[in-house]
Structure 1
């Protein structure tokens, strides 16, 4: 079931939030307030970070908050302990399939949509193995970094389940339909260096201990040098762009025209000419183009039920 709509309170410090099965840290460590780079850690190491409804609630709230918080520029997602995520906690399960299918919303999908809709890019540091929703939840991220010898896979068919977390949309677009069909149909698990993943992982590192530091290095570079507004709009153009070159040209032209009127464009040019680091300030939540989103959004809210009184 989808949770009821809640108001989002932006905290002074994310480290003070009391989230279930998730921990948020500032980077660099020691800051008493939110930093441009924040680290979100799946925090059930005793259960190999197996995914739970409470973890989904925590992640969904976190990404919704980052979306609204102009202080946050990049999110790093990782796991505590030796595994990134062992998939859904099968001891909890998913229900028994009773009730109306139209009322069901998979919890992994809620998380991936929150990540996808967040203007701030996510870098995933898969420091250990990940299967099932542990893989599908990472698909909307801008960058995924993994460990060469850890095992990764989309094991749904081996559990009698179909894919979720919007994977039927994201995975073929990331690695191609042929590779996605193979991974999903077999449900097999492979090391991070396997050819079957194609370009799913931006970097594959030989040591597990290298994964999070490298993710933080990339995240800090983006936070320091890339416009959050330009990054958000560019990713949206690629994910939800038109279906023809001509339509892409027209849309890109409109968005490009909008960007030339923003302070980030002026700052980007001036910092380059003055040979200094840029100080981008445009908040995508406030400065997105008037025609954003330029696609038709699908309503995912639950279908309301008619009361008995209304039928009389």
Structure 2
């Protein structure tokens, strides 16, 4: 599996020709990147069924947004009537040959890119979603769905186990009991189902309302939240210690760091002066010295040594 080459940040995302994915500025037509960008799964003729090429495009996009200081919030949605019909089963997943240690599921590559991106993602599930169409959304900050569309983690009904790091994210989002029920049954339910717990931040009556509402929330975050404070706060929750005492020590260190940043001064002054804040701190440049404070696991595939050809001495 190839890993990303060095990334060149484009002037315009709308000028890119990505496979099975479209990126739009918002408002559309702006010549350069906007604070809110829209990533659209773009295989409407196949109900946006997930492909390796779609995974490559999404992984590149989130890795690039991570580095692009112009982008503040990402909105992910689907073209057509469905958000994502899961993996394209006509393509399949191979036949289990080769070394298992060298396999990396393509959904997991996407979720890790989204999870590690400093920019929060708002997912507008404008229609039904199953399988990887659900698991790829789990690292997002916010998920909005349509009350009558159907959603499900159908892996066991296809003879498969969960992927896209869902065993990590889903129980933490909705609790182990609800996650066990959804995964074990593989059931498909409307967005209003209690099985999903609080997985969806908002459930809307009209599918046409989902993307506009996601964009409204994205703009609110882009205009009012410090990108540095937002990125560090979300990371504290996902990558925090396991005891309240350790959490207190870590939060104290990060909080102390934040009080020395210009965003803290700007946030206070804008409040006192009753104006919108103009946050400038880039998470790449102003993260705490001990960031990342956890041990990151290297998921790259180790190259195998080739046998040297015999030569006469």
The alignment's TM-score, normalised by the length of structure 2, stands at 0.98
What secondary structure is seen at the aligned counterpart in 1 of 2:210? helix
Shift of 1:304: 2.1
Answer yes or no: is 1:20 the counterpart of 2:35.
Answer: no
- CA-based RMSD of the aligned residues comes to 1.2
| Aligned partner of residue 92 in structure 2, secondary structure | coil
Match of 2:192 in 1: 193
CA distance in 1, matches of 2:157, 2:75: 30
* Residue aligning to 1:259: 258
1:229 aligns with 2:213: no
Distance 2:12 2:306 in 1: 43
Indicate whether 1:166 and 2:156 are aligned: no
| Alpha-carbon displacement from aligned partner over 1:21-62 (angstroms, at most 9, x marks no partner) | 000000112211100000000000000000000000000000
Match of 2:292 in 1: 293
Distance in 2, Cα, partners of 1:59 & 1:90: 19
Contact residue 3 and residue 300 of structure 2 kept, 8 A:
no
SS at match of 1:309: coil
1:165-188 per-position Cα deviation (integer Å, ceiling 9, x unaligned): 000000000000000000000000
Aligned partners of 2:8, 2:51: CA distance in 1, in Å?
23
Q: Deviations over 1:155-214 (max 9, x none)?
A: 000000000000000000000000000000000000000000000000000000000000
Match of residue 179 from structure 1:
178
| Matched position secondary structure for 1:16 | coil
Matched with 2:151 is 152
Classify the secondary structure of the residue corresponding to 1:78: strand
Return the alpha-carbon distance in structure 2 between the equivalents of residues 69 and 303 of structure 1.
29
Q: How far apart, CA to CA, are the structure 1 residues paired with 2:151 and 2:3?
A: 33
Partner of 2:135: 136
Partner of 2:302: 303
Q: Secondary structure at the match of 1:14?
A: coil
Match of 2:113 in 1: 114
Local SS of the residue matching 1:84: coil
Q: 1:273 to 1:303 in 2, by over 3 A?
A: same
TM-score (norm 1): 0.98
Residue 271 of structure 1: CA displacement? 0.3
Q: CA deviation at 1:310?
A: 9.8
**CA–CA distance in structure 2, aligned partners of residues 30 and 23 of structure 1:** 14
Shift in Å, 1:307:
2.0
Q: Aligned pair in 2 of structure 1 residues 307, 261: CA closer, same or farther (>3 Å)?
A: same
CA distance in structure 2 between the aligned counterparts of 1:249 and 1:193, rounded to whole angstroms: 36
Aligned to 2:244: 245
Structure 1 residues not aligned, in runs of 5+ = none
Deviations along 1:105-128, one digit per CA (max 9) or x if unpaired, are 000000000000000000000000
Correspondence for 2:70: 71
For residues 128-147 of structure 1, give each alpha carbon's deviation from its aligned partner in whole angstroms, at most 9, with x where no partner exists: 00000000000000000000
Aligned partners of 1:151 and 1:140: how far apart in 2? Answer: 20
The 3-state SS of whatever aligns with 2:301 is coil
Kindly report structure 1 stretches of 4+ aligned residues shifted beyond 6 Å: none
Distance in 2 (alpha carbons) for counterparts of 1:258 and 1:129: 43
Q: How far, CA to CA, are the matches of 2:29 and 2:106 in structure 1? A: 33
Structure 2 SS opposite 1:209? helix
Residue in 2 that maps onto 1:58 = 57
For the 8 Å contact 1:102–1:303, the answer to whether it is kept is no
**Structure-2 separation of matches of 1:14 and 1:143:** 23
The secondary structure found in structure 1 opposite 2:304 is coil
| 1:202-217 equivalence runs, <5 A | 202-217=201-216
Give 1:303 shift: 2.1
